[in-house]
Structure 1
Amino acid sequence: MTKNCIYSIPESFLALLTVFISSCLFAQQNNSDPKIQNQFWKNVQFGGGIGLGFGSGFTDISLAPSAIYNFNEYLALGAGVQYKYLKQRDFYASHLYGGSAIGLFNPIPEIQLSAELEQLRVNVNLEGSNTNSQDYWNTGLFIGAGYRSGSATIGGRYNVLTDKNNIYGSAFMPFIRVYF
């Protein structure tokens, strides 16, 4: 009978020690400085793009929200999502959706250099033909530069992965980028 009692004392002690250490760890976690927690959100900026285009039988609607984290005044990294609807009457309708990762470098406050990796799923439905519909992934790697004033940047970017099956009309694209 004493044999059972000897084994129960260390188990009880171990259980109490575990509870005590756990409560100390949680107490340390709950007492963290709110200023440090809020500092993360002070470095986050939100932005993106909205586009509407209408013409003679043509519709182009796009939505591309994004967010960046400013590590310092020179470097920011972020991510975004994108959706685009294109339709040419009596020819095709297309849905494009996906995501992107972006890196921004500001060597001086007025100049912004960027690199953006974009991965889009492309669904094209050709009118009058179910056999010619296409579903595929399109990858773009854009290198860009722009003039920055406050939270807005205007510039151009070039898709270095352009090939004959590119979903864009040109490898070079102008842009206006705004983060709040």
Structure 2
Amino acid sequence: MSLCFAHLSFAQVSANKTQSNFWENVRFGGGVGLSFGDGFFSGSLAPSAIYQFSPQFATGLGLSGSYVKSRNDFSSTVLGASILNFYSPIPEIQTSAEFEILNVDRNFESDFIDENYWYPALYLGLGYNTGNVTVGIRYDVLYDENDSIYAEPYAPFVRVFF
């Protein structure tokens, strides 16, 4: 009887150890933005989580949401999700590939036609990594100047993961 009890106890410890190892490799991060002025407001929230497979490889998911309002001009709501992939050939350098899909909803207070559409983006990036913080630039290879929410395909970034 004590052998059976010892076996069950060992199985429980093993299951807890596997579960705790998973969460030890998960890192959380994201971004928050706020901008306002005379008749203008912009706010954004973009949480993300990655799983660090090794010191070189990580992958994860991100969500994003933003709202912009310009008095007597327009308002815009953008909601999206992304798949994140990072590779660091050496600890100081991080390359990235991110696929993002956004739902863009623009409402104009003038003669423009309101818009609601999906916009895909595929970013390839290169950054300098200092541990929890990476600073760099990324390029949208699917960039479309008519539909993108950004003025240019290049965008600087700062990533923070804990």
Give the TM-score normalised by structure 2: 0.88
1:164 is matched with: 145
Quick check: 1:69 aligned with 2:51?
yes
Deviation at 1:168, TM superposition (A): 0.7
Q: 2:84 maps to which residue?
A: 102
The structure that is helix-richer by fraction is 1
Per the alignment, residue 49 of structure 1 pairs with 31
2:144 alignment partner AA: D
SS of match in other structure, 2:20: helix
Query: 1:30: how far off?
Result: 5.3
Letter matched to residue 75 of structure 2: A
SS of alignment partner, residue 164 of structure 1? coil
Q: For 2:67 and 2:102, locate their aligned partners in 1 and report how far apart those are by CA, in whole Å.
A: 12
Shift of 1:28: 9.7
- For structure 2, the residue ranges without an aligned partner over 5 or more in a row are 1-8
Conserved? CA contact 2:78–2:104, under 8 Å: yes
Deviation at 1:179, TM superposition (A): 0.3
Identity value in percent: 46
Mark the runs of 5 or more structure 1 residues left unpaired by the alignment: 1-26
TM-score norm. by structure 1 comes to 0.80
Bigger share in strand: 2
The counterpart of 2:75, out of the listed 74, 77, 93, is: 93
Shift of 1:55: 2.9
Query: Does the residue aligned with 1:33 lie in a helix, a strand or coil?
Result: helix
Paired residue for 1:111?
93
Larger Rg: 1
Aligned CA RMSD, in angstroms, stands at: 1.9
Point out the more displaced range, 49-58 or 66-75.
49-58
User: How far does residue 167 in structure 1 lie from its aligned partner after superposition?
Assistant: 1.5
